[in-house]
């Protein structure tokens, strides 16, 4: 099943930690469930919704006229690293 533009946007931010200007995110081709491209204004609205309130998953910073967003540390995707140890055991860690 196709994902919404909001879900695709949040997934992008989870997989690519760092600050992104609102204008940069608006220019990215996030598709809606029906396959059409999401309108830039819709993406901004979704960013603002996910950055407000107690359940916010985005951090926001303002520099001059530019607004930057990034996913909060607790919501970032963690990468699983599996190491084979010399004694045959396996060590699993997350970074």
We report the CATH number of the domain holding residue 36 as 1.10.10
Domain containing 18 equals 5-94
What pLDDT does 20 receive?
94
Token output for 70: 């990034």
Q: What is the DSSP string of 15-78?
A: HS-S-EEHHHHHHS--B-TTSPBPPHHHHHHHHHHHTSSTT--EEEEEETTEEEEEE-GGGSPP
What pLDDT does 91 receive?
84
What pLDDT does 64 receive?
95
What pLDDT does 2 receive?
74
20 CB-near residues (< 8 Å, 6+ apart): 13, 68, 69, 70
What pLDDT does 68 receive?
96
What pLDDT does 70 receive?
93
What pLDDT does 78 receive?
73
Run means of pLDDT, 10 residues per run, the chain, 95 residues: 85 89 93 91 91 90 94 80 87 74
| Total structural domains within the chain | 1
């Amino acid at each position: 099943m196709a994902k919404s533009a909001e879900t695709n946007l949040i997934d992008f931010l989870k997989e690519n930690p760092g600050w992104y200007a609102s204008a940069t995110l608006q220019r990215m081709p996030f598709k809606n469930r029906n396959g059409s491209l999401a309108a830039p204004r819709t993406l901004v609205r979704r960013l603002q919704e996910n950055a407000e309130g107690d359940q916010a998953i985005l951090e926001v910073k303002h520099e001059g006229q530019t607004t930057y967003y990034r996913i909060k540390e607790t919501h970032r995707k963690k990468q699983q690293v599996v190491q084979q140890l010399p004694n045959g055991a396996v060590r699993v860690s997350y970074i």
